[in-house]
Amino acid sequence: MSRVRFATAQALFDAFPEVSQKVSVKPTDQPPVDFARALSSHDKLPEAVAFCAYLLPRREAVWWACASVRALASGIAREPAVGLLAAEAWAYQPDDQNRQKAFEIGSDGDQNDPSTWLARAAGWAGGFQVLGDQQVPTPQYMTARAVRIAILLSAARIGSSERLARLRSCITDGIKLAETGIVQDG
């Protein structure tokens, strides 16, 4: 089932004005997945990552970011980081307990670690933030921001000779996820 929430790329830019700071290409009235494909095919890969991060609903965005970070880190021998595992736990079971655990891990993590940003993406996928003496719902764009940062930090850790192809593959996966939604086995 399609998870695309916007009829056009312009509608996404209208809903999230900050996207225009991350995507230099002017929005069009074409379907958002076509706009994302065009960004990717014109080698505007960081911009396509940003666009996909805002295009996907929060759960799908976290799911995609976790898969992307794993794919971008393949070949780097190390155990999955605790932030990645917390974000995946929330993506598989998006309840408040998993979200809170991810939030705590993301709040205490290293800002240069993609896993920290994955945990923040999941942690910011709901709940409230304290502003002064008030609690306000966490803005929807916070998850997209963290997803974008996690994927781009991961991409920066791989050699430039592989980076473009692997990022393009991640973007293709994000577009597919927008079109089909999360499909879980069992």
Token output for 105: 């891990």
pLDDT digits (tens, 9 = 90+) for 54-111: 999 999 999 999 999 999 987 665 667 999 999 999 999 999 999 999 999 999 999 9
What 3-state DSSP class applies to 134? strand
Closest among 178, 170, 167, 148 to 18, alpha carbons compared = 148
Residue 183 dihedral angles phi and psi, to the nearest 5°: -115, 110
pLDDT confidence band for 1 (50 / 70 / 90): low
Closest among 128, 10, 146, 181 to 69, alpha carbons compared = 146
Find out whether 149 and 28 touch, Cβ atoms under 8 Å.
Answer: no
pLDDT digits (tens, 9 = 90+) for 72-85: 987 665 667 999 99
168 pLDDT higher than 70: yes
What 3-state DSSP class applies to 149? helix
The reported pTM is 0.93
pLDDT confidence band for 3 (50 / 70 / 90): confident
Q: Which residue has the tokens 């993406």?
A: 121
What's residue 183's pLDDT? 67
pLDDT digits (tens, 9 = 90+) for 118-137: 999 999 999 888 778 988 99
